């Protein structure tokens, strides 16, 4: 009896995450995919349903005959959507690189700091999460706008005679993404660097390596799992970011998250917006799969 209960308990432990994925990922995915195959209409909801489950088998067969991928063809033919995807990938990639350049020295400094100081530094990194994401982005509007705090400070120092135009540009989007997602880069890097055996660096320096050479040959390769994890945690949500480009970038910044919002709420074209979301998800599946593979490889190396 005890073996049977243990068997049931082990299967339940495995089934819970799969059930979670089924309810909160696969079911919404297929609902959105079904809408993307339908046609737009002046109705509530604003599309013609493809599968009519209340009509039984006949409704399902009729839905299969009515399936149409015209919305996906429309996205590929319209340069607006293609440019939005490419622009989103570019902005997310550059933002991830900038976040890595800022976050790696921070994580390295935290990992090499005295043990008594590390909890304080870690708390300072996590502290921004205690405030609303929207409020933090709005604060950057007050900093970057022409009459904002940054220009006033530069005027006070006498470094400029005309205000810098940052708000409403792609540079403001980079600043907002780097600031907002910096903890997602720092925390996995810190977790990797904090566990590293720094006696290897000392051994490399004893064998003739300069500190910089030892850093590139020892520290960076050993911290690659943290680099990959941090980059994926920044890049994946940055591709579909909407709030930051809408508030800081304005109308001149083209990203797929803002395009999706316009299609869904302004144009009320749910089928096209669903197709946009499906393609975006398929694009993100590649880095997600790579991230999972890298995590599995790192666990194998630890064992």
- Say how far apart CA 45 and CA 7 lie, in whole Å: 46
Q: Identify the residue whose tokens are 């902005």.
A: 91
pTM (2 decimals)?
Answer: 0.85
Q: Identify the residue whose tokens are 């001149």.
A: 252
Give 3-state DSSP helix, strand, coil % of the chain, rounded to 5.
Answer: 80, 0, 20
Q: What is the pLDDT, as a whole number, of residue 51?
A: 65
Q: How far apart are the two ends of the chain, measured CA to CA in Å?
A: 34
**48 in a structural domain:** no
225 closest CA partner among 172, 284, 298, 288: 298
**39 in a structural domain:** no
Q: Identify the residue whose tokens are 């043990």.
A: 115
Q: What is the pLDDT, as a whole number, of residue 66?
A: 65
For residue 164, give Cα distances in angstroms to 149, 169, 175, 217: 11, 11, 14, 41
Number of domains in the chain: 1
Give the SS3 label for residue 303.
coil
Identify the domain containing residue 136 by its residue range: 70-302
Q: What is the pLDDT, as a whole number, of residue 55?
A: 59
CATH number of the domain where residue 272 is located: 1.10.3720.10
- Say how far apart CA 182 and CA 99 lie, in whole Å: 6
Q: What is the pLDDT, as a whole number, of residue 182?
A: 94
Tens-digit pLDDT string for the chain (303 aa): 566 666 677 777 777 877 887 888 888 888 888 888 887 777 777 777 776 655 556 656 666 666 678 888 888 888 888 899 999 999 999 999 999 999 999 999 999 999 899 999 999 999 888 888 889 999 999 999 988 899 999 998 888 888 998 998 999 999 999 999 999 999 999 999 998 888 888 888 888 888 889 899 889 998 988 998 899 899 999 998 989 998 998 777 889 888 888 888 888 888 888 888 898 888 888 777 777 777 777 667 666
181 closest CA partner among 262, 261, 243, 254: 243
**177 in a structural domain:** yes
């Amino acid at each position: 009896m005890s073996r049977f209960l243990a068997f049931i308990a082990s299967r339940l432990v495995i089934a819970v995450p799969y059930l979670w994925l089924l309810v909160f990922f696969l079911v919404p995915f297929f609902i959105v995919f079904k809408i993307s195959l339908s046609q737009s209409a002046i109705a509530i909801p604003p599309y013609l349903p493809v599968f009519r489950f209340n009509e039984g088998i006949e409704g399902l067969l009729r839905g299969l005959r009515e399936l149409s991928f015209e919305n996906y063809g429309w996205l590929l033919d319209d340069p607006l959507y293609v440019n939005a995807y490419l622009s989103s990938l570019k902005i997310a990639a550059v933002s991830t690189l900038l976040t890595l350049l800022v976050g790696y020295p921070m994580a390295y400094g935290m990992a090499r700091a005295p043990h008594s100081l590390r909890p304080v530094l870690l708390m300072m990194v996590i502290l921004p999460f205690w405030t609303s994401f929207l409020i933090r982005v709005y604060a950057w509007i007050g900093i970057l706008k022409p009459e904002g705090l940054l220009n006033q400070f530069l005027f006070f120092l006498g470094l400029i005679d005309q205000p810098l135009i940052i708000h409403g540009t792609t540079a403001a989007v980079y600043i907002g993404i780097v600031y907002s997602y910096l903890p997602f880069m720092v925390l996995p890097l810190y977790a990797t660097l904090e566990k590293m055996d720094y006696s290897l660096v000392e051994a490399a320096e004893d064998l003739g390596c300069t500190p910089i050479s030892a850093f590139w040959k020892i520290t960076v390769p050993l911290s690659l799992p943290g680099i990959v994890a941090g980059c994926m945690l920044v890049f994946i949500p940055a591709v579909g970011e909407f709030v930051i480009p809408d508030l800081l970038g304005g109308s001149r910044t083209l990203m797929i998250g803002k395009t999706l919002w316009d299609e869904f709420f302004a144009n009320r074209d749910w089928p096209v917006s669903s197709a946009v979301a499906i393609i975006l998800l398929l694009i993100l599946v590649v880095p997600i799969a790579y991230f999972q593979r890298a995590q599995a490889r790192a666990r194998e190396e630890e064992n």
